[in-house]
Amino acid sequence: MVKTCSAAAVTLLLGFSHIRAEKELSPESTSVQLIFPKEFGEPTLPIDNKLTKERISLGENLFHDTILSIDGTVSCAACHVEEFAFSDDVDLSRGFEGRLGKRNSPPIFNLAWKDHFFWDGRTRTVRDQVLQPIQDHLEMAANLNQVLNRLNRRKSYREDFKKAYGPGEITSETLSLALENYLLTIVSGDSKFDRSLEKKVKLDPLEDEGRKLFFSSHRKGGAGCSECHSGPHFSDFTFRNNGLQPAPDLNDFGRFGITGKEKDKFLFSTPSLRNVAITSPYMHDGRFENLTEVIEHYNNAAHETSTLDPKIKKQGLQLKAAEKKALIAFLKTLTDPQFIDSSK
Ligand code: HEC
Ligand code: HEC
């Protein structure tokens, strides 16, 4: 969701980051202003990678190009499929030679408002994030130098990179910046629920009952979902243990794998619930097929470990059948139909 404007006419509202300042954009480049719902607040965009039309379209091409994988069979879009809000529909994503990954592919949108990426938060910027799947032996399994050689040999890419980042070799830096530029422009915030807040539509009675359950504490007879899935992104973007039984075969300790701290065992990044109806299967390992199974998880007793989040009701929510139905109806109002449409 972006609007293009001429470079001279627009002063971009850019946040500050730790990165070096960028050279002046070339006069041929077309600045782009990110359009987003007011309630998201200003995102912290990198000051050294201003959004331009040339960069976004280059990043989008790269995202869909299998040139980034070792054997030319896997693109980013293979696991981040637009019609599923840039997630995929399998529990563990398959990459190079069909190798099974360890985790479920998350949807991609509103990254400009996040300050950590991956289920365990192991990277802090989109540009650091994007080179990982290319080199991951389970995902694209490529050697970065090999990918850069291939890109540098392709005339069309040489030209497109020149337009986007000026003359010179295509480097891992410009590759990651182009992907970052594109990914930061993927915005979703126009769901039925958003429209109901703007009084453009009304939630039906079942959806509205679900909304009340979602937003009220389980201490008051609600479902308490918004205690963690809070704010305009339906996530507070913190790491938490929501009481899943660890999958014995995956040996995945979540955030603990990065920090080594006992208190982080089985903590995973709280996902946004925007577009949740179209991002099945669910959880870091894709263990739940559908939203009914997700609700059953919260409805039943949680798997208790010392790191279980205090906001999880240990004995389970014990919702009635009608309440579960209402909650699911509400979750379905978080789908942004225009987002899926416009990304086709
Ligand atoms: C084989 C499937 C696969 C391919 C190919 C793939 N990804 Fe992913 N992607 C994943 C999985 C699985 C995760 C979550 C991994 C984790 O949390 O450890 C992920 C996570 C991400 C995230 C983090 C989202 C967030 O909010 O935390 C971004 C961004 C992303 N991928 C972008 C890309 C880009 C760009 C490419 C191409 C260069 C790519 N992916 C290629 C499967 C894939
Ligand atoms: C204590 C904080 C917390 C509460 C309360 C909570 N969740 Fe979650 N939720 C999480 C975390 C953390 C994850 C990711 C867990 C993982 O994959 O290991 C998650 C994952 C999910 C997912 C999977 C999303 C995806 O993309 O895979 C859904 C759906 C979900 N929660 C819905 C709900 C609903 C509905 C409620 C209320 C009944 C709720 N959550 C209450 C923290 C919470």
- The answer, yes or no, to whether any atom of ligand 1 lies below 6 A from the CB of 270, is no
| Protein residue closest via CA to atom 26 of ligand 1 | 117
- The answer, yes or no, to whether any atom of ligand 1 lies below 6 A from the CB of 103, is yes
Q: What are the pLDDT digits (tens) for 15-31?
A: 333 344 576 677 778 99
- CB under 6 Å to ligand 2: residues? 223-225, 227-229, 240, 242, 244, 268, 270-271, 273, 276, 279, 282-284, 294, 298, 309, 311-312, 327
The predicted pLDDT at position 13 comes to 30
225 compared with 22, residue with greater pLDDT = 225
What amino acid occupies position 112? A
d(CA 200, CA 160): 41
Q: What is the mean pLDDT of residues 327-340?
A: 93
Q: Are 331 and 298 in contact (CB under 8 A)?
A: no
| Protein residue closest via CA to atom 9 of ligand 2 | 270
Tokens read off for 210: 């679900």
Say how many Å lie between the CA of residue 320 and the centre of ligand 1. 37
d(CA 144, CA 171): 9
d(CA 105, CA 215): 27
For residue 168, count CB atoms less than 10 angstroms from its CB and return exposed for 0-12, middle for 13-18, buried for 19 or more.
exposed
**Is the omega angle on the peptide bond into residue 281 within 30 degrees of 0, that is, cis?**
yes
The predicted pLDDT at position 344 comes to 47
The predicted pLDDT at position 27 comes to 72
d(CA 131, CA 106): 16
**11, pLDDT greater than 50:** no
Tokens read off for 271: 């996902």
Say how many Å lie between the CA of residue 119 and the centre of ligand 2. 12
Q: What are the pLDDT digits (tens) for 107-143?
A: 999 999 999 999 999 999 999 888 888 887 667 777 8
**Which of 56, 84, 105 most suits a substitution to test ligand 1, by most atoms within 8 Å of the C-beta?**
105
Long-range contacts of 314-319 (CB under 8 A, 24+ apart): 314/243, 317/218, 317/223, 317/224, 319/213, 319/223, 319/295
The 10 Å CB-count burial string (b at 16+, else e) for 52-67 is bbbbbbbbbebbebee
Confidence of residue 97 (pLDDT cuts 50, 70, 90): low
| Protein residue closest via CA to atom 10 of ligand 1 | 105
Confidence of residue 101 (pLDDT cuts 50, 70, 90): confident
Q: Which atom of ligand 2 is nearest to the CA of 327?
A: 35
Q: What is the mean pLDDT of residues 315-333?
A: 97
| Protein residue closest via CA to atom 30 of ligand 1 | 130
Residues 6+ apart with CB under 8 A from 103: 92, 93, 119, 252, 284, 285, 286
**Which of 116, 225, 285, 290 most suits a substitution to test ligand 2, by most atoms within 8 Å of the C-beta?**
225
Q: What is the mean pLDDT of residues 165-179?
A: 94
**Which of 118, 120, 273, 323 most suits a substitution to test ligand 2, by most atoms within 8 Å of the C-beta?**
273
